[in-house]
Amino acid sequence: MKTEIAQWPSHGHIACLESVTAEVEHPALRDIAWLLHTPDILVLPEISGRPSVKALGWENASTLARWLTRQRQAVEALPWRALRHSRMGHYHERLWHYVLDHAPDTCLLATNVRVFQRRNTLGELDILYRTRDDPAPIHLEVAIKFYLGLPDGPGEEASLSRWIGPGGLDSLALKCQHIARHQLPIARTPPAQQTLAHWLAPRDTGEPLPPIRSQLALPGVLFYPWHARLSPPKGATAAHRRGLWCYLHDWSALAAGLPCDTLAACLEKPHWLAPPPLASFQPLNDVIKPILDRVIAYNAPQQVMLYHPSHDQTQRIFIMPSGWPRQIPLPPRSR
């Protein structure tokens, strides 16, 4: 699954394009391939990123592709159809569970580990795993996010507060603060250490539990406004996946700059990860009217994926109601 950087035909935007691969057919395996090839959207200071493809046990993209091909029979025995209709965050977690439990060099130890202090729940550790060569457990927090950038909004141009969810209920700033100040530090608390020692030390090492290492996986897509220029948020990775968003009343102008052979497919949540199979794409003019009608009828965003046959690549676009956003989350309080 290759990724290229290409010039978007309107307004000079840089768009991160995703290929439609025919190498992997099963939907869950396509999403796993997308997940492992999609960079985190940003890096938080002093927080380790996710396990690399090499750390998971694959030397390169070719060895990963062969592994994915061999997994078809195994994933077909799992209830992926039901999972793909669950919340996107839950589905994303289950993909990580499968990867860490089946990758060549990792072993899944536990998921959703609750940490208690007396009878109060302090929080939950998303995933515990270990590598082939090190028995020490690793704590991995995972989140998948699709945020839209506001040309005008809270803070400076590169402020994380300017990147908000399609529903306007959360922001990149709030999510990162929650991760950095709550989710990841929990693993270092004495109650968490006691929980981990009770569960893992006797089975894994027979010795006191070594210090736990925490990691963060934060894949997703950042959607840039079509009608204005906007810098990436502070800390964004150079290769993060990019989409565009436009207002409903700007769609005609955006569409006028597209190649005449452009195809399209509607993406309905939670199916926002891998591009759909090529057979799902139809001529743009045949599929866009129902999508625009839904924006009007429900006054809600709709995500469409365009396919450009000449480049064998796709492009994600959010089409937003003209009054969006109805609300903007306040920036997090600084300490």
Q: Which of 145, 250, 137, 266 is nearest to 204 (CA)?
A: 137
| 113 Cβ contact partners less than 8 Å away, ≥ 6 residues apart | 124, 125, 128, 195, 196, 199
The answer to which of 131-135, 167-171, 199-203, 330-334 has the lowest mean pLDDT is: 199-203
Query: Distance between CA atoms of 34 and 21, rounded to whole angstroms?
Result: 10
Q: Does residue 278 or residue 297 have the better pLDDT?
A: 297
- Residue-wise pLDDT for 74-98, tens only, equals 877 776 666 666 788 888 999 999 9
Contact (CB, 8 A) for 217 and 197: no
Res 268: pLDDT: 84
- Within a 10 A sphere around the Cβ of 249, how many other Cβ atoms? 11
- Within a 10 A sphere around the Cβ of 27, how many other Cβ atoms? 18
Query: Distance between CA atoms of 58 and 65, rounded to whole angstroms?
Result: 9
- Residue-wise pLDDT for 40-56, tens only, equals 999 998 888 999 999 99
